[in-house]
Amino acid sequence: MIKNQISNGKNPYQDWGTIAVGDQWKKQLSLTSTGDADINQSKKEIDAHSGETGVSWVQGNADRDGSVHAGGKGQPPVHVIADTTKAGFNVLLNRDLQSSDDISSGELALYFINPKMASMWVSSVVGDQVITTCNDDSCKKDQASIVGHGLLPWVASCRIDKDNCADTIREELGKLVTGNDEVTKDNLLKVSADGIAISPEVITSIHEMDSMQQIIIINKLSQEISVQRVMNKAFIAREILSSGSQVPAIASNHPAQVIIKQAISKLDNDIKSLAFESQMRKQTTSNTITEILKYKDQQQAMSVLVSTSSQLMEDGAITK
């Protein structure tokens, strides 16, 4: 978004600066109304230090009145998406918006154990905008536009999210099939996802296949599980962003709302793209788990048939 505005000759930070200056005027006008400041002096002060007090925000420096400001001189920059994610994470837990504490239980903990992890994940997927409102060079150098890389890298790469990428799941699944790892509830959960539960029967079925079939099935299954996990994580991330956007300091900030809505839209499109890719893969190849269990039934049926045929031959044999 910011790149588009710059290419169109617009200043993407102007709206934020306008909000900051507006806040400065509100404060000065409250002082002039009580006789504690002169209007002309206030104008000179604001013109000389335009935007330096930042904007009212959910993360940043706390003022004497308990409000929080960011983006100004001596204040941390506004990270629109990361800050909104942190706020939304804490809103869902009904705790202080600035909390960075870990969590150990509940649905949210299955995907993100703290606000920092959630913020990093969401920003890497949809990108972020780093905003400052003051005009000196030291302030402006913090301004940035961070590019999001979508959901697919979280399936294909183990660099950041080692537990949920396809390669890790493939490795864990392989160890269960070969018997290098015991088939326990915890180990099965490592290779499962919502909607794709790996049972001991599935592991046994894969184990009974020949080595080439095992490789093909394990590859397909690990890919499907990874995709499902990433999609589940994306749904939770969307809920976090949506909750954060409703916090008063964010809800009343129009340029922030524009950026957040764009991020949610990108996340929706990424979810649709990943779901479409997964659906197409399932249409061109049969459902993997059904295929595995069908293979086991066929093998058992063949075993019974061979056993029955052998018995019939033995019963019907001519003996001397």
Q: What is the DSSP string of 75-114?
A: SPPEEHHHHHHHHHHHHHTTS-TT------SSTGGGT-SS
Per-residue pLDDT tens digits for 77-132: 999 999 999 999 999 999 999 999 999 999 999 999 999 999 999 999 999 999 99
What mean pLDDT comes out for the span 25-31? 59
CA–CA separation, 68 and 60 (whole Å):
6
pLDDT value at residue 137:
85
* Lowest-pLDDT choice from 137-141, 257-261, 280-284, 313-317: 313-317
Higher pLDDT, 18 or 119: 119
- Phi–psi pair at 121, nearest 5 degrees: -65, -50
Per-residue pLDDT tens digits for 148-163: 999 999 998 888 778 8
The yes-or-no verdict on residue 15 having pLDDT over 70 is yes
pLDDT value at residue 135:
84
pLDDT value at residue 250:
97
CA–CA separation, 206 and 226 (whole Å):
19
- Overall pTM surpassing 0.85 (yes/no): no
pLDDT value at residue 7:
45
Identify residue 276 by its one-letter amino acid code: F
Higher pLDDT, 221 or 159: 221
Per-residue pLDDT tens digits for 180-204: 999 999 999 999 998 888 999 999 9
CB atoms within 10 A of CB 182: 9
